[in-house]
Amino acid sequence: MINYSKDPIIQYKNEKVYSPSDDTFLIVDYFRKAVTSSSFDGYNIKKVKYILDMGTGTGIIAIFLQMLSSQLSSLNPKIYASDIMKEAIICAKNNEKINNFKGEIRFIHSDLFKSFPKKLTYKFNVIIFNPPYLPALEIKTDKPSTDIDYSWNGGEEGYETLLEFFNQVVPFLNPDHNAVCLLYFITSSRVLRDNISEILLKLGFETNIIAKKHIFFEDIILNRAVRISY
């Protein structure tokens, strides 16, 4: 376990950018424990060459992983962070500078993988995605839809955005059978996880729960997926 308890310094003044919350810190705290000088969550850390933080928001997860990389000589990946919101990319870049990293994280403005350059195909060993995971019908508000809705509206069932991610992700995963290839994502107990697992299994991914936290009316669940079909 890394003896490193410091979280990134994060500023978020734009109401369109999702602020770090319990789901965010569930991911950060998991990696704080799961990454050692030789192991990335049980896998050879030296084989982790490309990491992506999808839907980066304030950039906190990407920055935390960059902090770990700066502490561990064995962890030296290229870290990418993307978001559908331009405001989030601006915010994340600012937070990178606040944490004394300048230009070390590569940022991409994109709706999932739609604007990713071809040079990133078949590259990523680790992808983290904290998607919008609430069912649209459960989001009760009198306000009109705004950009911040991208942060929590996961579609009618709550997992449509996640499934679209998995439908797009395969061309960007390292296809080498000997390479590390791990995907991490958040779900809620308010959404039927068995439905998600069954669909992902058909897409060639096996999933398991690696951490969870109970918050008020729901469990926030951190899942890990590995490819079982190539």
Judge whether 139 lies within some domain.
yes
Judge whether 213 lies within some domain.
yes
Judge whether 196 lies within some domain.
yes
User: Given this model, what pLDDT does residue 217 score?
Assistant: 84
d(CA 9, CA 58) in angstroms, rounded, equals: 10
The token pair at 164 is 């679209």
User: Given this model, what pLDDT does residue 14 score?
Assistant: 82
The CATH number for 94's domain is: 3.40.50.150
pLDDT tens digits, 67-88: 999 999 999 999 999 999 999 9
139's CB contacts (< 8 A; 6+ apart) are: 149, 152, 153
Per the CB < 8 A criterion, the answer to whether 92 and 107 are in contact is: yes
Per the CB < 8 A criterion, the answer to whether 171 and 38 are in contact is: no
CA distances from 85 to 45, 91, 121, 139 (A): 31, 10, 22, 20
Judge whether 1 lies within some domain.
no
Kindly give the residue spans of alpha helices, DSSP state H, lying in the chain: 22-34, 60-71, 86-98, 160-169, 193-202
In the structure, what pLDDT confidence band is assigned to residue 154 with cuts at 50, 70 and 90?
very low
The token pair at 125 is 């060993």
User: Given this model, what pLDDT does residue 144 score?
Assistant: 38
d(CA 182, CA 159) in angstroms, rounded, equals: 19
44's CB contacts (< 8 A; 6+ apart) are: 38, 180
pLDDT tens digits, 161-217: 999 999 999 999 999 988 999 999 999 888 878 889 999 999 999 999 999 999 888
Taking all residues of the chain, what is their mean pLDDT, rounded to a whole number?
89
DSSP code at position 184: E
Judge whether 201 lies within some domain.
yes
Which amino acid, 82?
A: S
In the structure, what pLDDT confidence band is assigned to residue 135 with cuts at 50, 70 and 90?
low
Q: Residue for token digits 């935390």?
A: 64
d(CA 113, CA 21) in angstroms, rounded, equals: 24
Q: Is the dihedral of CA 127, 106, 19, 149 positive or negative?
A: negative
Is this prediction's pTM over 0.85?
yes
Judge whether 27 lies within some domain.
yes
Task: Specify the 3-state DSSP secondary structure of 40.
Answer: strand
Range of the domain at 178: 22-227
Domains held by the chain: number: 1
pLDDT tens digits, 84-110: 999 999 999 999 999 999 899 999 999
CA 79 to the chain's CA centroid: 12
Judge whether 17 lies within some domain.
no
In the structure, what pLDDT confidence band is assigned to residue 142 with cuts at 50, 70 and 90?
very low
The token pair at 175 is 């296809």
